[in-house]
Amino acid sequence: MIVDGHNDVLLEHVERAGSSPDLVLHRGREQLLDGYWLPKLEAAGVGLQICPLFASTVPSEEARAWAAAQEEEFRRTVEQNPDRVRHVRTRDDLDDTRFQLLLSMEGLEPLEGDPDAFDEWYGLGVRSASLTWNHANEFAGGVATPEQGLSERGRALVRKFAELNVLLDLAHASEQTWRDVLAEEVPFSVTHACCRAVHDHQRNLADWQLEALAERGGVLGVMAVRFAVGPESPTISRLIDHIDQAVAVMGVEHVGIGADFIKLEAPGAESPWIDGFAGPAEYPALVAGLRERGYDGEHLDAILGGNWLRILRETLAATA
């Protein structure tokens, strides 16, 4: 079974209503999560998809409503497809044979600066969260602010996540945020990034970060986005170079997939993903490439999904 640590299947459900700040859902004939994404993911052999709520690029006063609209669509999909979909909230849910969806947050702007506001989102089923997107917020620094780390509010949230059995995600976090989280001695993972030793980009992880990630028992979801893989050679082979690097530094038990796909609405728009791996339908090409590099059997299964499943079993509460 393939587990995808990060795929923006919910972001497309909301948009601005013309010049109005109001948010509207993409509804109608095509319901994107169950009408577009689920068939593609299921056909590709994906069995668990982590789905982020994202509101880090809208005005701060709109962030909560933006995330709430995405959560509403997530909940609608689960409620209207009870025989097909399981919302993963606990460790026991991972044993369900239905398609599994785990709700996450990418950046904590919807909390409006209040650590206690996370309790509401936890009640809605959020079980993974990153502190930031690229820029800093009230909780932590992002990659655009490398010297800014955790605020006191951020430290409170990191501790809350550990208490609530929520998977802490350090994707997009600044190097100082990394150091501050390490000082808290809590577990964490990275849902979507690549390796800086292969392609030097601020969104990619340096070897010291990979080593720290492995020491905390976490997993890196290697992502298929062109700017991270390397725009000079945006190929599956280059993506697997990043996987090779991560395996060399951390061991195969700490490497997974976080493809970071999104559905392009504009006809003819240039793909931000790599050649030959721009959507779930092309997972067989990635699997073939991994086999050519010598990944097979338990090692292949671990990268494709086993490592994420292990981390989730270790992190999530056993029951609600």
Beta bridge partners of 99: 85
What's the per-residue H, E or C state across 27-38?
A: CCCCCHHHHHHH
pLDDT score at 21: 43
Integer angstrom CA distances of residue 101 from 34, 70, 143, 219, 274: 11, 14, 28, 18, 25
pLDDT score at 253: 98
Please tell me whether the overall predicted TM-score, pTM, comes out greater than 0.75 for this model. yes
Using DSSP's 3-state secondary structure scheme, residue 168 falls into strand
* 2-315 CATH: 3.20.20.140
C-alpha neighbours within 13 Å on the C-beta side of residue 165: 16
Q: How do the domains of the chain map onto residue ranges?
A: 2-315
User: Following CA atoms 32, 103, 47, 285 in sequence, which dihedral angle do they give, to the nearest 10 degrees?
Assistant: 70
Q: What is the distance in angstroms between the CA of the first residue and the CA of the last residue of the chain?
A: 25
pLDDT score at 13: 66
Q: How many CB atoms lie within 10 A of CB 20?
A: 8
Measured CA to CA, the distance from residue 57 to residue 8 in angstroms comes to 14
pLDDT score at 15: 59
Amino acid at residue number 307: N
pLDDT score at 267: 55
H-type alpha helices, 185-305: 207-215, 226-229, 236-250, 283-292, 297-301
Query: Residues 6 or more apart from 235 whose CB is under 8 A from it?
Result: 229, 274, 275, 276
Helix or strand (DSSP H, E) at 3: strand 2-4
Residues 191 and 259: beta-carbon distance below 8 Å: no
pLDDT score at 268: 61
SS3 breakdown of the chain: % helix, strand, coil, rounded to 5? 45, 20, 35
Q: What tens-digit pLDDT sequence spans the chain (320 residues)?
A: 999 999 998 876 665 544 444 544 454 445 778 888 899 999 999 999 999 999 998 899 999 999 999 999 899 999 999 999 999 999 999 999 999 999 999 999 999 999 999 999 999 999 999 999 999 999 999 999 999 999 999 999 999 999 999 999 999 999 999 999 999 999 999 999 999 999 999 999 999 999 999 999 999 999 999 999 999 999 999 999 999 999 999 999 999 999 999 765 555 667 788 999 999 999 999 999 999 999 999 999 999 999 999 999 999 999 86
